[in-house]
Amino acid sequence: MTKILTTDQIRTLDAYTIQHEPVASIDLMERACRAFVEWFIKRADTSRRIGIVCGTGNNGGDGLGIARMLLARHYTVTVWVVEGGKPTADFEANRTRLLGNVILQMIADTPPSTIFDTCDIVIDALFGSGLSRPLEGIYAAVIERINAAAAWRVAVDVPSGLRADAPSQGAIVQAQDTVSFQVPKLAFFFASNAPYVGTWHIVDIGLHKGLLQDTETDHYYVSNDDVHRRWKPRARFSHKGTYGHALLVAGSYGKTGAAILAARALLRAGVGLLTIHTPVRGYAILQQAVPEAMVSIDPFEEYASTLPSSDGYSVIGVGPGLGQADATVKMMRKILETYRKPMVIDADALNILAAHRELLLRVPAGSILTPHPKEFERLAGKTANEFERLEKQKELARQLKSVVVVKGAYTSITSPGGVVYFNTTGNPGMATGGTGDVLTGILTGLLAQSYTSLDAAILGVYLHGLAGDLATHDLGEDSLVASDLVTYLPAAFLKVSGGKS
Ligand X SMILES: NC(=O)C1=CN([C@@H]2O[C@H](COP(=O)(O)OP(=O)(O)OC[C@H]3O[C@@H](n4cnc5c(N)ncnc54)[C@H](OP(=O)(O)O)[C@@H]3O)[C@@H](O)[C@H]2O)[C@@H](O)CC1
Distance CA 183, CA 176 (A): 18
Phi first, then psi, for residue 47 (nearest 5°) are -75, -15
* 277 known member of a binding site: no
Does residue 434 interact with ligand ADP by CB under 6 A? yes
| Near ligand ADP by CB under 6 A: residue from 137, 381, 418, 428 | 428
Q: To the nearest whole angstrom, how small is the minimum distance from the Cβ of residue 263 to ligand ADP?
A: 14
Q: Are 169 and 30 in contact (CB under 8 A)?
A: no
The DSSP secondary-structure symbol of 170 reads: B
| Near ligand X by CB under 6 A: residue from 4, 6, 14, 402 | 14
- Judged by CB under 5 A, the chain residues 127 through 156 that form the site for K ion are 155-156
Q: To the nearest whole angstrom, how small is the minimum distance from the Cβ of residue 346 to ligand ADP?
A: 7
**DSSP β-ladder status, 105-107 and 121-125:** unpaired
DSSP 250-296: ---TT-HHHHHHHHHHHHHTT-SEEEEEE-HHHHHHHHHH-TTSEEE
Residue 407 binds which entry of ligand X, ligand ADP, K ion, none, CB below 5-8 Å type-dependent: ligand ADP
| Near ligand X by CB under 6 A: residue from 16, 18, 104, 130 | 130
Stretch that binds ligand ADP, among 166-174, 232-240, 308-316, 423-431 (CB under 6 A): 423-431
Q: To the nearest whole angstrom, how small is the minimum distance from the Cβ of residue 320 to ligand ADP?
A: 7
Q: To the nearest whole angstrom, how small is the minimum distance from the Cβ of residue 56 to ligand ADP?
A: 38
Stretch that binds ligand X, among 50-58, 66-74, 265-273, 406-414 (CB under 6 A): 50-58
* 225 known member of a binding site: no
Q: Residue 155: beta bridge partners?
A: 124, 178
CA 130 to chain centre: 25
Does residue 408 interact with ligand ADP by CB under 6 A? yes
Distance CA 189, CA 387 (A): 10
| Near ligand ADP by CB under 6 A: residue from 56, 305, 314, 435 | 435
Stretch that binds ligand ADP, among 41-49, 82-90, 193-201, 435-443 (CB under 6 A): 435-443
Q: Which residues have a Cβ under 8 Å from the Cβ of 392 and sit 6 or more positions away?
A: 376, 380, 381, 383
| Near ligand X by CB under 6 A: residue from 42, 74, 133, 236 | 133
Beta strands across the sheet bearing 76-82:
105-107, 76-82, 49-54, 121-125, 152-156, 177-181, 199-203
**Longest C-alpha distance within the chain, in Å?**
86
Stretch that binds ligand X, among 42-50, 123-131, 141-149, 302-310 (CB under 6 A): 123-131
Residue 434 binds which entry of ligand X, K ion, ligand ADP, none, CB below 5-8 Å type-dependent: ligand ADP
* 131 known member of a binding site: yes
Peptide linkage before 184 cis (omega within 30 of 0) = no
Distance CA 374, CA 368 (A): 17
Q: Which residues have a Cβ under 8 Å from the Cβ of 395 and sit 6 or more positions away?
A: 380
From the list 23, 33, 32, 387, the residue with the least C-alpha distance to 208 is: 23
Residue closer to ligand ADP by CB (options 131, 406) is: 406
CA atoms within 13 A on the CB side of 223: 7
Does residue 427 interact with ligand ADP by CB under 6 A? yes
Residue 411 binds which entry of ligand X, K ion, ligand ADP, none, CB below 5-8 Å type-dependent: ligand ADP
Distance CA 342, CA 344 (A): 7
| Near ligand X by CB under 6 A: residue from 4, 77, 154, 156 | 156
Gap between the terminal Cα atoms of the chain: 22
Distance CA 98, CA 104 (A): 9
| Burial of 341 per CB tally in 10 Å (0-12, 13-18, 19+) | middle
- Judged by CB under 6 A, the chain residues 177 through 236 that form the site for ligand X are 181-182, 205, 207
Residue closer to ligand X by CB (options 123, 207) is: 207
Does residue 344 interact with ligand ADP by CB under 6 A? no
Kind plus residue range of the DSSP H or E element containing 153: strand 152-156
* Binding site, annotated residues for AMP: 407-411, 436
Q: Contact residues for ligand ADP (CB under 6 A)?
A: 347, 372, 407-409, 411, 426-428, 430-431, 433-437, 439, 464-465
Q: Contact residues for K ion (CB under 5 A)?
A: 124, 155-156, 160
Q: Contact residues for ligand X (CB under 6 A)?
A: 10, 14, 28-29, 32, 55, 57-62, 85-86, 88, 127-135, 139, 156-157, 181-182, 205, 207
* Binding site, annotated residues for (6S)-NADPHX: 58-62, 128-134, 139, 157, 258, 321, 372, 437
